[in-house]
Amino acid sequence: MSFPWAKQYTPTTEFGQWMDKQLPLPRFVYNSVGAGYPAPRNLNYMWNFGSMAGLFLVVQIVTGIILAMHYAANATIAFDSVEHIMRDVNSGWMIRYAHANGASFFFIAIYLHIGRGLFYGSYKAPREMLWLLGVVIYLLAMATAFMGYVLPWGQMSFWGAKVITGLFEAIPFIGKPIQELLLGGFAPDNAALNRFFSLHYLLPFVIVGVVIMHIWALHIPGSNNPTGVDVKGPQDTVPFHPYYTAKDGWTIGLALIFFTILMFFLPNALGHADNYIPANPLSTPAHIVPEWYFWPWYAILRAFTFDFLFIPAKLLGVLAMFSAILVWFFLPWLDKSPVRSGSFRPKFKIFFVILVIDVLILGYCGGAPAEEPFVMISQLAAAYYFAHFLIILPLLSRLEKPEPLPTSITESVTGKPLTTAS
Amino acid sequence: MVRIIGILIGLFFSGWLLVSFGMGAKEYITNPPVETAEHAFHKEAKDVSFTSDGPLGKFDRQQLQRGFQVYKEVCAACHSLRLVAFRNLEEIGYNEDEVKAIAANWPIQTPDVDPATGEMSTRASVAADKLPKPFANDVAAGAANNNAIPPDLSLITKAREGGAPYIYSLLTGYQAPPADLPKANQPGPGLHYNPYFANLNLAMAPPLAAADMVSYSDGTKASIDQMAKDVSAFLIWSAEPKLEERHQAGWAVLAFLLIATILAYLSYRTIWADVKAEKKKKSAEA
């Protein structure tokens, strides 16, 4: 962090000085999450979900590595090996329930983290790269979670894999070969299960790599803050440690309390009963639904029910579903309003609230069976989703008159102007 | 440029979704969907509670043993319980000798290779064996049951929406079809009307047809209701044998986390005290 008032790392012990010359790892930690990283003093609790997502990523990797010691990625015994973990492995049930519910908590944290970025304009200059890397992390997490859900080889694993890889079939000419490449065959079977297991083990480490770049990109401009106003002087900041380590620390305790309640007392509440039935290619479940964190996208996929000229409805749905996430890559250039924080954008605020409700409605419809009236509702909700990002935000940045911004973070917190010159 | 392309794509997706909505709505109004008989006559699971419910839930071992007896004497003729081993029965209160006796006297023997001839054969079960399946394979199971393969019961209370109350409702829910049931939904040959089952007609004949099909050694009256409840409780255990361990560990973890979080919160307050005081003082002055 390059703020001139950031405390410099000065090793006091002889070993510390020796270490600093040879491998300045303590200096690195000090400057990234220590007292050498000044962070805006006014960050609210919405800024806690980044570290929380990081925590649950670690939970997933640790529990996942232990599960892989007992799991067998073979279509004939995968289901039973999971039950072996649940019944015969010491505390295996705890590890597996932590892993299954940890995925949900990772996505809860990441959705709140994305929502924070959307409202406070954290994607705007000078943080575009930070935002783009975040979208990459989200896409990788989706792929990882999808493949992880296939591994227990239950009914929903099998049919979920069939439906999702079947989406590629909609792409003209190259769709079918892509689907066969993904599955290693014409339908999900042992080849698919094996490559999904391999990739499910690989991708979390790729995520860790992108997370490191994400945090690196964060440390170039420093954190955004609820006012969206740039940091102007030392009074605007507090050292990351101990201030934000303490704040993150106690909310992580709070998150773990909710996690404990879910994984010990309601471990299957977010799962699907059908996944306790072994995969059976000859029997299709009545309702094939993905995990809850995919529901909004699943609703958009199913909202396209009519062909457009020569484009079949299924292909439109697939294009729309991918576009719904890929649009985030263009967000910094779609929303050109110079004001970052939604707090000072009276109209944006209203549209943002509508967007949140809209995505919740899409999520509800995505989890519901593909029947009326859910299809009609998801058509309206999906129409607003695309309109919000692609029509409303670009026009709003032209038309809206933002409220006056505070001159500094310190002024917004204390009501007094910043006294020291920056 | 990005914004112009974006607006065009947005107009296309949103526009086509609104057109699709319009066409769908027109279809919905002119040709409203008809409620299916499966939906109209289907009943939600009965309200029934088990001692293992809730975060403090524990198994009633006496009930689990009664449920095991019902499984053994009624269900086991057709339904396997392939994930449960005889040794696991010690967890529901049988001692080692009782488990050995149960395994040795189990009506179906465990398939094995004859150690003398190498031919496929069967032998009496031991405690380490999983409960033997009533049919050699799915084809045999289908052939003996009008082509409806009896599902394995090990995970049944977790593998069905509604859980154990659903199993209980299904076992006690057989009844004569209502008079206004459409002809297409009347039970065909070999089917039995049961409104708790998703498509209303079930291939399984009422398994608990009369009271006292089993005689409980603990003196409990074996009414149909009691047997259905006991076997449902037993199947909660077979699906989730670590339930009690899970509840206990949950409370311990929760207690630890509560203390740790309170301490972490207090240290957060202490660390931020100077910054908050400054904020308070300055806003009071202003």
Backbone angles phi, psi at A102, to 5 degrees: -60, -35
- Give phi and psi for B191, each to the nearest 5: -115, 160
Task: List A residues 18-57 in contact with B (Cβ-Cβ < 8 A).
Answer: 41
Q: Which of B2, B3, B91 to mutate to test the interface with A (most CBs of A within 10 A)?
A: B3
Residue A422 has pLDDT above 60, yes or no: no
A171 touches chain B (CB under 8 A): no
Helix residue spans in chain B (DSSP H): 2-30, 37-41, 61-73, 96-104, 138-144, 156-159, 163-172, 224-239, 243-285
Residue B270 pLDDT: 96
Q: Which two tokens stand for residue B26?
A: 């027109």
A394: which 2 tokens? 């670009």
Dist CA A376 CA A382 (whole Å):
10
Interval A86-135: pLDDT, tens: 999 999 999 999 999 999 999 999 999 999 999 999 999 999 999 999 99
Query: In the prediction, which pLDDT does A217 show?
Result: 96
What residues contact B20, with CB distance under 8 A and at least 6 apart? A303, A304, A305, A306, A379
Non-local (6+) Cβ contacts of A362 within 8 A are: A295, A296, A299, A300, A378, A381, A382, A385
Cβ-based burial of B151 (10 A; exposed 0-12, middle 13-18, buried ≥19): middle
Q: Is the pLDDT of residue B282 over 70?
A: no
Residue A145: phi and psi, rounded to 5, are -65, -40
CA proximity to B167, closest of B5, B51, B258, B45: B45
- Placement of tokens 């608990």 in the chain: B208
pTM for the predicted model, two decimal places: 0.95
| Residue A409 confidence (pLDDT) above 50 | yes
Residue B118 tokens read as 């190498």
Percentages helix, strand, coil for chain B (3-state, rounded to 5) are 50, 5, 45
| Nearest neighbour of B275 by CB, restricted to A41, A304, A373 | A41
**Catalytic residue, candidates A7, A176, A219, A232:** A219
Question: Each residue of A5-35: pLDDT tens digit?
Answer: 788 899 999 999 999 999 999 999 999 999 9
Name the closest residue on chain B to residue A241, using Cα atoms: B271
Amino acid at B277: A
Mutate to test the interface with A, among B14, B82, B152, B265 (most CBs of A within 10 A): B14
Mean of pLDDT values over A60-80: 97
User: Which DSSP state fits A278?
Assistant: B
Chain A contact set for B286 (CB, 8 A):
414-416
Predicted confidence at residue A2, as pLDDT, reads 59
Interface test with A, best of B2, B13, B58, B283 (most A CBs within 10 A): B13
Contact B69, B216 (CB under 8 A): yes
**Rounded distance between C-alpha atoms, residue B243 and residue A141, angstroms:** 30
Single-letter amino acid code for the residue at A316: L
Side chain identity, residue A251? T
Q: What is the mean pLDDT of residues B194-206?
A: 94
Q: Is A283 a catalytic residue?
A: no
The CATH T-level fold of domain A45-288 is Cytochrome Bc1 Complex; Chain C (1.20.810)
Point out which residues pair with A311 in neighbouring strands: A308
Q: How far apart are the C-alpha atoms of A220 and A126, rounded to whole Å?
A: 9
At B276 the pLDDT is 84
* Neighbour count for residue A147 (Cβ, 10 Å): 23
Q: Domain residues of chain A, as ranges?
A: 45-288, 291-400
pLDDT, averaged across chain A: 94
Task: List the single residue in A243, A334, A389 with the smallest CB-CB distance to B271.
Answer: A243
- Tell me the percentage of chain A whose pLDDT exceeds 70: 99
Active site residue A80: no
Residues of chain B contacting A374 with CB distance shorter than 8 Å: none
Q: How confident is the model at residue A420 (pLDDT cuts 50, 70, 90)?
A: low
- ipTM entry: 0.94
> With 80 as the cut, is the pLDDT of residue A1 above it?
no
Average pLDDT estimate for A198-215: 98
Average pLDDT over residues A138-166: 96
Does the pLDDT value for residue A401 go beyond 70?
A: yes
* Higher-confidence position of A2 and B75: B75
What is the distance between the alpha carbons of residues B106 and B131, in angstroms, rounded to a whole number? 9
Q: Indicate yes or no: CB of A250 within 8 angstroms of CB of B267.
A: yes
- Closest approach of chain B CAs to the CA of A21, in angstroms? 32
pLDDT tens digits, residue range B80-94? Answer: 999 999 999 999 999
A291-400: what fold? Helix Hairpins (1.10.287)
pLDDT tens-digit readout, A230-266? 999 898 999 999 999 999 999 999 999 999 999 999 9
CB burial class (10 A; 0-12, 13-18, 19+) of residue A177?
exposed
Please tell me which residue of chain B has the smallest CA distance to A242: B271
Q: Which one, of B198, B87, B82, B224, lies nearest residue B151 by Cα?
A: B82
Cβ contact B268–A246 (<8 Å)? yes
For the segment B59-67, the average pLDDT, to the nearest whole number, is: 97
Q: Is A124 a catalytic residue?
A: no
